[in-house]
Structure 1
Amino acid sequence: MFATIDYLKHGNERQQKAFHAITHLRVMKDLADYKPVLCGTIPIEIDVASSDLDIIFEVHNFTRFQEQVIALYGHMSDFKISQYQIRNKPIIKANFIYEGFEFELFGQAQPVNEQNAYRHMIIENYILNEHPHLRQPIITLKTQGYKTEPAFCMVLGLEGENPYSLLLKYGEERGII
Protein backbone atom coordinates (compact mmCIF):
# COMPACT_ATOMS: atom_id res chain seq x y z
CA MET A 1 0.00 0.00 0.00
CA PHE A 2 2.79 2.48 0.85
CA ALA A 3 5.02 1.74 -2.16
CA THR A 4 3.73 4.88 -3.90
CA ILE A 5 2.01 8.01 -2.59
CA ASP A 6 -1.05 7.63 -4.84
CA TYR A 7 -3.27 6.77 -1.85
CA LEU A 8 -2.76 10.33 -0.59
CA LYS A 9 -4.65 11.74 -3.60
CA HIS A 10 -7.95 10.48 -2.18
CA GLY A 11 -7.10 10.79 1.51
CA ASN A 12 -8.04 13.43 4.03
CA GLU A 13 -7.33 17.11 3.40
CA ARG A 14 -3.85 17.02 4.94
CA GLN A 15 -2.93 13.90 2.95
CA GLN A 16 -4.06 15.59 -0.27
CA LYS A 17 -1.97 18.67 0.57
CA ALA A 18 0.99 16.39 1.29
CA PHE A 19 0.48 14.64 -2.05
CA HIS A 20 0.51 18.00 -3.82
CA ALA A 21 3.65 19.20 -2.02
CA ILE A 22 5.59 15.96 -2.60
CA THR A 23 4.47 15.72 -6.22
CA HIS A 24 5.15 19.38 -6.99
CA LEU A 25 8.62 19.06 -5.45
CA ARG A 26 9.24 15.86 -7.49
CA VAL A 27 10.98 14.14 -4.57
CA MET A 28 9.76 10.67 -5.51
CA LYS A 29 10.77 11.12 -9.18
CA ASP A 30 14.03 13.01 -8.76
CA LEU A 31 15.31 10.61 -6.11
CA ALA A 32 13.65 7.45 -7.46
CA ASP A 33 16.99 5.61 -7.64
CA TYR A 34 16.98 5.55 -3.83
CA LYS A 35 13.55 3.83 -3.63
CA PRO A 36 11.80 6.56 -1.59
CA VAL A 37 8.91 5.72 0.71
CA LEU A 38 6.82 8.18 2.70
CA CYS A 39 6.63 7.03 6.33
CA GLY A 40 5.37 8.47 9.57
CA THR A 41 2.03 9.66 10.82
CA ILE A 42 0.51 11.39 7.79
CA PRO A 43 0.18 8.15 5.75
CA ILE A 44 -1.67 6.41 8.61
CA GLU A 45 -3.78 9.44 9.61
CA ILE A 46 -2.51 10.03 13.12
CA ASP A 47 -0.69 13.25 12.33
CA VAL A 48 -0.87 16.41 14.38
CA ALA A 49 -0.13 20.00 13.35
CA SER A 50 3.60 19.57 13.92
CA SER A 51 3.91 16.29 11.98
CA ASP A 52 6.46 16.30 9.19
CA LEU A 53 6.79 14.41 5.93
CA ASP A 54 9.32 11.64 6.58
CA ILE A 55 10.65 10.16 3.36
CA ILE A 56 13.13 7.33 3.73
CA PHE A 57 15.69 6.23 1.16
CA GLU A 58 18.11 3.39 0.55
CA VAL A 59 21.43 5.23 0.22
CA HIS A 60 24.78 3.55 -0.31
CA ASN A 61 26.72 6.51 -1.73
CA PHE A 62 26.21 9.28 0.82
CA THR A 63 28.35 11.80 -1.09
CA ARG A 64 26.32 11.40 -4.28
CA PHE A 65 23.00 11.55 -2.38
CA GLN A 66 24.11 14.66 -0.47
CA GLU A 67 25.15 16.40 -3.69
CA GLN A 68 21.79 15.60 -5.32
CA VAL A 69 19.76 16.70 -2.31
CA ILE A 70 21.68 19.98 -2.02
CA ALA A 71 21.27 20.64 -5.75
CA LEU A 72 17.54 19.91 -5.61
CA TYR A 73 16.50 21.37 -2.24
CA GLY A 74 19.43 23.36 -0.87
CA HIS A 75 17.60 26.60 -1.63
CA MET A 76 14.54 25.63 0.44
CA SER A 77 13.62 27.41 3.65
CA ASP A 78 15.44 26.13 6.76
CA PHE A 79 17.48 23.64 4.71
CA LYS A 80 20.02 21.62 6.63
CA ILE A 81 21.76 18.33 5.93
CA SER A 82 23.84 16.17 8.22
CA GLN A 83 25.46 12.78 8.50
CA TYR A 84 25.79 10.85 11.74
CA GLN A 85 25.22 7.39 13.21
CA ILE A 86 22.23 5.77 14.83
CA ARG A 87 22.87 2.43 16.52
CA ASN A 88 26.28 2.27 14.77
CA LYS A 89 24.69 2.71 11.34
CA PRO A 90 25.62 5.75 9.25
CA ILE A 91 22.68 7.87 8.16
CA ILE A 92 22.15 11.04 6.20
CA LYS A 93 19.29 13.40 6.91
CA ALA A 94 18.08 16.57 5.22
CA ASN A 95 15.34 18.86 6.49
CA PHE A 96 13.59 21.81 4.89
CA ILE A 97 10.23 23.55 4.69
CA TYR A 98 8.05 23.51 1.59
CA GLU A 99 4.37 24.43 1.17
CA GLY A 100 3.85 24.48 4.93
CA PHE A 101 5.36 21.03 5.52
CA GLU A 102 8.63 20.18 7.14
CA PHE A 103 10.28 17.57 4.97
CA GLU A 104 12.72 15.08 6.44
CA LEU A 105 14.71 13.05 3.93
CA PHE A 106 16.34 10.14 5.74
CA GLY A 107 18.80 7.78 4.10
CA GLN A 108 20.72 4.75 5.19
CA ALA A 109 22.41 1.81 3.48
CA GLN A 110 19.50 -0.54 4.05
CA PRO A 111 16.43 -1.45 1.98
CA VAL A 112 13.56 0.87 2.92
CA ASN A 113 11.29 -2.01 3.94
CA GLU A 114 13.92 -3.05 6.52
CA GLN A 115 14.34 0.42 8.02
CA ASN A 116 12.76 1.02 11.41
CA ALA A 117 10.65 3.98 10.25
CA TYR A 118 8.95 1.75 7.69
CA ARG A 119 8.62 -1.21 10.05
CA HIS A 120 7.11 0.99 12.77
CA MET A 121 4.59 2.44 10.31
CA ILE A 122 3.53 -1.03 9.12
CA ILE A 123 3.00 -2.18 12.71
CA GLU A 124 1.15 1.00 13.64
CA ASN A 125 -1.07 0.78 10.56
CA TYR A 126 -1.90 -2.84 11.39
CA ILE A 127 -2.78 -1.92 14.97
CA LEU A 128 -5.03 0.94 13.83
CA ASN A 129 -6.80 -1.30 11.33
CA GLU A 130 -7.33 -4.01 13.96
CA HIS A 131 -8.21 -1.59 16.77
CA PRO A 132 -9.63 1.62 15.25
CA HIS A 133 -10.77 2.82 18.68
CA LEU A 134 -7.08 3.41 19.56
CA ARG A 135 -6.65 6.13 16.91
CA GLN A 136 -8.06 9.00 18.96
CA PRO A 137 -6.20 8.17 22.21
CA ILE A 138 -2.95 8.03 20.22
CA ILE A 139 -3.67 11.37 18.53
CA THR A 140 -4.51 12.86 21.94
CA LEU A 141 -1.19 11.68 23.37
CA LYS A 142 0.61 13.09 20.34
CA THR A 143 -1.04 16.51 20.83
CA GLN A 144 0.24 16.35 24.42
CA GLY A 145 3.80 16.02 23.09
CA TYR A 146 4.33 12.27 23.00
CA LYS A 147 6.24 10.78 20.08
CA THR A 148 4.36 8.18 18.04
CA GLU A 149 5.99 4.98 19.27
CA PRO A 150 5.75 5.87 22.98
CA ALA A 151 2.08 6.80 22.43
CA PHE A 152 1.38 3.39 20.87
CA CYS A 153 3.17 1.62 23.72
CA MET A 154 1.12 3.57 26.27
CA VAL A 155 -2.24 2.66 24.73
CA LEU A 156 -1.15 -0.95 24.25
CA GLY A 157 0.18 -1.21 27.80
CA LEU A 158 3.68 -2.12 26.62
CA GLU A 159 6.24 -1.30 29.26
CA GLY A 160 10.00 -1.14 29.07
CA GLU A 161 12.91 1.20 28.52
CA ASN A 162 12.75 1.62 24.76
CA PRO A 163 9.31 2.06 23.15
CA TYR A 164 10.85 1.86 19.65
CA SER A 165 12.22 -1.61 20.34
CA LEU A 166 9.07 -2.65 22.21
CA LEU A 167 6.92 -1.81 19.21
CA LEU A 168 9.18 -3.77 16.86
CA LYS A 169 9.07 -6.75 19.22
CA TYR A 170 5.26 -6.47 19.36
CA GLY A 171 5.12 -6.58 15.55
CA GLU A 172 7.58 -9.45 15.25
CA GLU A 173 5.80 -11.57 17.87
CA ARG A 174 2.49 -11.16 16.04
CA GLY A 175 3.90 -11.78 12.57
CA ILE A 176 3.09 -8.26 11.40
CA ILE A 177 6.65 -7.69 10.19
Structure 2
Amino acid sequence: MELLRSYNPILVGTIPIDIHVSSSDLDIVCEVYDFDAFVAYTSAAFQCEERYQHTVHSDMLNPYAVVNFRFQGWEIEIFAQPIPTTRQNGYRHMMVEHRILQLLGSDGYDAIRQLKENGYKTEPAFAELLQLEGNPYEGLLELADWDEEQLSQFIIRFRSCD
Protein backbone atom coordinates (compact mmCIF):
# COMPACT_ATOMS: atom_id res chain seq x y z
CA MET A 1 0.00 0.00 0.00
CA GLU A 2 2.89 2.30 0.77
CA LEU A 3 4.27 1.83 -2.75
CA LEU A 4 0.89 2.82 -4.21
CA ARG A 5 0.16 5.79 -1.89
CA SER A 6 0.29 8.39 -4.66
CA TYR A 7 -2.63 6.55 -6.31
CA ASN A 8 -4.93 6.74 -3.23
CA PRO A 9 -5.09 2.95 -2.82
CA ILE A 10 -7.85 1.27 -0.85
CA LEU A 11 -7.96 -2.42 0.03
CA VAL A 12 -11.44 -3.57 -1.00
CA GLY A 13 -13.26 -6.86 -1.26
CA THR A 14 -13.73 -9.67 1.18
CA ILE A 15 -10.85 -9.21 3.60
CA PRO A 16 -11.73 -5.77 5.00
CA ILE A 17 -15.31 -6.92 5.71
CA ASP A 18 -14.30 -10.35 7.04
CA ILE A 19 -15.96 -12.64 4.52
CA HIS A 20 -12.80 -14.01 2.93
CA VAL A 21 -12.25 -17.68 2.34
CA SER A 22 -9.10 -19.67 1.62
CA SER A 23 -9.22 -18.78 -2.09
CA SER A 24 -9.71 -15.02 -1.55
CA ASP A 25 -7.28 -12.55 -3.06
CA LEU A 26 -6.27 -9.02 -2.09
CA ASP A 27 -8.06 -6.44 -4.20
CA ILE A 28 -6.73 -2.89 -4.27
CA VAL A 29 -8.36 0.00 -6.12
CA CYS A 30 -6.30 2.97 -7.26
CA GLU A 31 -7.04 6.36 -8.75
CA VAL A 32 -5.02 6.70 -11.95
CA TYR A 33 -5.13 9.23 -14.77
CA ASP A 34 -1.88 8.43 -16.58
CA PHE A 35 -1.99 4.71 -17.36
CA ASP A 36 1.39 4.67 -19.10
CA ALA A 37 3.07 6.09 -15.99
CA PHE A 38 1.09 3.72 -13.74
CA VAL A 39 2.08 0.65 -15.75
CA ALA A 40 5.71 1.77 -15.84
CA TYR A 41 5.67 2.33 -12.08
CA THR A 42 3.93 -0.93 -11.16
CA SER A 43 6.12 -2.87 -13.59
CA ALA A 44 9.23 -1.50 -11.92
CA ALA A 45 7.81 -2.18 -8.46
CA PHE A 46 6.22 -5.59 -8.97
CA GLN A 47 7.45 -7.26 -12.18
CA CYS A 48 9.80 -9.52 -10.24
CA GLU A 49 6.88 -10.93 -8.27
CA GLU A 50 5.48 -14.33 -9.18
CA ARG A 51 2.82 -14.33 -11.93
CA TYR A 52 3.16 -10.59 -12.61
CA GLN A 53 1.04 -9.33 -15.48
CA HIS A 54 -0.76 -6.16 -16.40
CA THR A 55 -3.42 -5.13 -18.87
CA VAL A 56 -4.70 -1.72 -19.89
CA HIS A 57 -8.14 -1.23 -21.34
CA SER A 58 -8.16 2.15 -23.01
CA ASP A 59 -11.83 2.41 -23.92
CA MET A 60 -12.39 6.16 -23.87
CA LEU A 61 -15.58 5.86 -21.78
CA ASN A 62 -14.26 3.45 -19.14
CA PRO A 63 -10.47 3.17 -19.25
CA TYR A 64 -8.85 0.98 -16.60
CA ALA A 65 -5.75 -1.02 -15.85
CA VAL A 66 -5.34 -4.27 -13.95
CA VAL A 67 -2.12 -5.48 -12.37
CA ASN A 68 -1.93 -9.02 -10.99
CA PHE A 69 0.82 -10.85 -9.14
CA ARG A 70 1.44 -13.20 -6.24
CA PHE A 71 3.16 -11.93 -3.11
CA GLN A 72 3.83 -13.83 0.13
CA GLY A 73 1.18 -16.43 -0.70
CA TRP A 74 -1.50 -13.92 -1.70
CA GLU A 75 -2.93 -13.33 -5.15
CA ILE A 76 -3.04 -9.56 -5.55
CA GLU A 77 -5.11 -7.58 -8.04
CA ILE A 78 -4.69 -3.85 -8.43
CA PHE A 79 -7.53 -2.21 -10.34
CA ALA A 80 -6.96 1.36 -11.53
CA GLN A 81 -9.41 3.87 -12.96
CA PRO A 82 -9.47 7.64 -13.47
CA ILE A 83 -12.09 7.91 -10.71
CA PRO A 84 -11.57 8.68 -7.01
CA THR A 85 -11.18 5.35 -5.22
CA THR A 86 -14.19 5.92 -2.97
CA ARG A 87 -16.39 6.25 -6.05
CA GLN A 88 -15.15 3.12 -7.81
CA ASN A 89 -17.51 0.16 -8.00
CA GLY A 90 -15.22 -2.17 -6.04
CA TYR A 91 -15.28 0.21 -3.09
CA ARG A 92 -19.01 0.88 -3.39
CA HIS A 93 -19.75 -2.87 -3.54
CA MET A 94 -17.68 -3.48 -0.43
CA MET A 95 -19.40 -0.69 1.50
CA VAL A 96 -22.94 -1.88 0.72
CA GLU A 97 -21.95 -5.48 1.42
CA HIS A 98 -20.68 -4.38 4.81
CA ARG A 99 -23.93 -2.51 5.53
CA ILE A 100 -25.95 -5.58 4.53
CA LEU A 101 -23.85 -7.86 6.71
CA GLN A 102 -24.28 -5.52 9.67
CA LEU A 103 -28.05 -5.81 9.24
CA LEU A 104 -28.00 -9.58 8.74
CA GLY A 105 -25.63 -10.32 11.61
CA SER A 106 -23.55 -13.46 12.07
CA ASP A 107 -25.96 -15.63 10.07
CA GLY A 108 -25.37 -13.37 7.07
CA TYR A 109 -21.60 -13.62 7.41
CA ASP A 110 -21.83 -17.40 7.66
CA ALA A 111 -24.18 -17.68 4.67
CA ILE A 112 -21.96 -15.52 2.44
CA ARG A 113 -18.82 -17.43 3.43
CA GLN A 114 -20.58 -20.71 2.67
CA LEU A 115 -21.68 -19.50 -0.77
CA LYS A 116 -18.13 -18.36 -1.45
CA GLU A 117 -16.74 -21.74 -0.34
CA ASN A 118 -19.19 -23.28 -2.82
CA GLY A 119 -17.62 -21.29 -5.66
CA TYR A 120 -19.63 -18.06 -5.79
CA LYS A 121 -17.86 -14.78 -6.39
CA THR A 122 -18.74 -12.15 -3.79
CA GLU A 123 -21.37 -10.09 -5.61
CA PRO A 124 -23.18 -13.14 -7.02
CA ALA A 125 -23.14 -14.64 -3.49
CA PHE A 126 -24.92 -11.56 -2.13
CA ALA A 127 -27.39 -11.65 -5.02
CA GLU A 128 -28.09 -15.32 -4.35
CA LEU A 129 -28.54 -14.78 -0.62
CA LEU A 130 -30.79 -11.74 -1.07
CA GLN A 131 -32.59 -13.20 -4.11
CA LEU A 132 -31.70 -10.20 -6.26
CA GLU A 133 -32.81 -10.50 -9.87
CA GLY A 134 -30.62 -9.56 -12.82
CA ASN A 135 -26.99 -8.52 -12.85
CA PRO A 136 -25.64 -8.91 -9.29
CA TYR A 137 -23.03 -6.18 -9.74
CA GLU A 138 -25.60 -3.63 -10.87
CA GLY A 139 -28.10 -4.80 -8.25
CA LEU A 140 -25.66 -4.18 -5.43
CA LEU A 141 -24.81 -0.73 -6.83
CA GLU A 142 -28.53 0.12 -6.69
CA LEU A 143 -28.60 -0.95 -3.03
CA ALA A 144 -25.46 1.12 -2.40
CA ASP A 145 -27.45 4.25 -3.23
CA TRP A 146 -30.13 3.46 -0.65
CA ASP A 147 -30.16 5.19 2.70
CA GLU A 148 -30.09 3.20 5.93
CA GLU A 149 -33.87 3.17 6.29
CA GLN A 150 -34.43 1.80 2.78
CA LEU A 151 -31.76 -0.85 3.22
CA SER A 152 -33.09 -1.83 6.66
CA GLN A 153 -36.61 -2.19 5.30
CA PHE A 154 -35.35 -4.33 2.43
CA ILE A 155 -33.50 -6.64 4.83
CA ILE A 156 -36.55 -6.86 7.11
CA ARG A 157 -38.71 -7.83 4.11
CA PHE A 158 -36.03 -10.27 2.92
CA ARG A 159 -35.87 -11.93 6.33
CA SER A 160 -39.66 -12.21 6.56
CA CYS A 161 -39.63 -14.18 3.28
CA ASP A 162 -37.15 -16.77 4.61
- Same fold by TM (over 0.5)? yes
**Structure 2 Cα separation of the partners of residues 86 and 155 of structure 1:** 33
Q: Alignment identity in percent? A: 41
Instruction: Give 1:170 shift.
Output: 1.6
Instruction: Give 1:82 shift.
Output: 0.6
Q: 1:106 pairs with 61, 64, 79, which one?
A: 79
| Helix, strand or coil at the partner of 2:23 | coil
**Structure 2 Cα separation of the partners of residues 38 and 47 of structure 1:** 13
| TM superposition outliers: structure 1 runs of 4+ over 2 Å | 85-88, 173-176
Change (3 A) 1:157 1:56: same
Instruction: Give 1:163 shift.
Output: 0.5
**Larger-Rg structure:** 2
Partner of 1:18: none
Segments of structure 2 that go 5 or more residues without pairing to the other structure are 152-162
TM-score, scaled relative to structure 2: 0.86
Instruction: Report how many aligned residue pairs link the two structures.
Output: 148
Change (3 A) 1:85 1:167: farther
**Structure 2 Cα separation of the partners of residues 85 and 48 of structure 1:** 32
**Structure 2 Cα separation of the partners of residues 86 and 42 of structure 1:** 30
**Structure 1 Cα separation of the partners of residues 86 and 60 of structure 2:** 18
The answer to whether the aligner puts 1:134 opposite 2:103 as a matched pair is no
| Helix, strand or coil at the partner of 2:27 | strand
Segments of structure 1 that go 5 or more residues without pairing to the other structure are 1-27
Partner of 1:24: none
Partner of 1:154: 128
Bigger relative contact order, structure 1 or 2 (CA pairs below 8 A, ≥6 apart): 2
